[in-house]
Amino acid sequence: MKAVRFHEYGGIDVLRVEEVERPAPGPGQVLVEVRAAGIQPGETMIRKGARHGRWPATFPSGQGSDLAGVVVEAGPQVRGVAVGDEVLGFTHHRASHAEFVVVDDVNLTSRPEGLSWDVAGSLYVAGTTAYATLFAVDPQPADTVVVSGAAGGVGSLAVQLARRRGATVIGLASEQNHAWLKDRGVIPVEYGQDVAEGIRQASGGIVDAFIDTFGDGYVELAVELGVRPERINTIIDWQAAARVGARTR
């Protein structure tokens, strides 16, 4: 089969489409014929070597976690998925940019009817990250929640999940994304030097929880706004979280 691999850190120029052995599923695993596969910003950083200390690559390395496709083979002891199922999910092994991928059954879910392959192939990591960061701060209907990067891959899902909880949601985003946020019941606030004041005006001065998907000082800003550390979650600024006691789900 064909797979995307790289043999050294670098930009997209290090990527190669190579012939590799088709994998076979083991216990609790299935083989998925890939229809679409996405890539996360963090994965591009891994390919460049910028995350070597946290997630080192072993060469030759594959690329990609998100995927969607059709199950074509099942190993023993597989639960919840069968040959012929249309699924979306992810692999821990940086291998989704390939014609076939072995995936643990627990990392797959059915592709909903009407969801395009392209969307399905880029949804799982951002979706489960948004789900985890939401439950880390546990918004309640009376709460006001701020989300940085509110129109990004994770942020755009986190704001919708927080709204489904009934919370008031303030989304930090560039002006071009404000209409999209308003359409989903989110109060948009522009990035920039006046962002703290914008949040205070939008929230009436009370912020209960903060979801940071962007980094660049937003954990400290949440503390400045009076949010308790246990109700701050960041998916990117681990050092700031360690300093203040915030969460990193």
State the CB neighbour count (10 A cutoff) for residue 58. Answer: 6
pLDDT at 40: 86
Region of 67 (left: φ > 0; alpha: ψ -120 to 50; beta: rest) is beta
Number of H helices and E strands in the chain, helices first, is 8, 13
Q: Which are the contacts of 190, defined by CB distance < 8 A and separation ≥ 6?
A: 172, 173, 174, 175, 178, 198
Whole-angstrom Cα distance, residue 194 to residue 114?
Answer: 41
Question: Residue-wise pLDDT tens for the chain (249 aa)?
Answer: 999 999 999 999 999 999 999 999 999 999 999 999 999 888 999 999 998 988 899 999 999 999 999 999 999 999 999 999 999 999 999 999 999 999 999 999 999 999 999 999 999 999 999 999 999 999 999 999 999 999 999 999 999 999 999 999 999 999 999 999 999 999 999 998 899 999 999 999 999 999 999 988 999 999 999 999 999 999 999 999 999 999 999
Neighbouring CB atoms inside 10 A of 202's CB total 17
Q: How far from each other are the two terminal CA atoms of the chain, in whole angstroms?
A: 35
Where b means 16+ CB within 10 Å and e means fewer, 150-169 reads bbbbbbbbbbbbbbeeebbb
The predicted pLDDT at position 55 comes to 86
pTM: 0.87
Q: Do the Cβ atoms of 223 and 229 come closer than 8 Å?
A: yes
Distance CA 50, CA 249 (A): 21
pLDDT at 200: 96
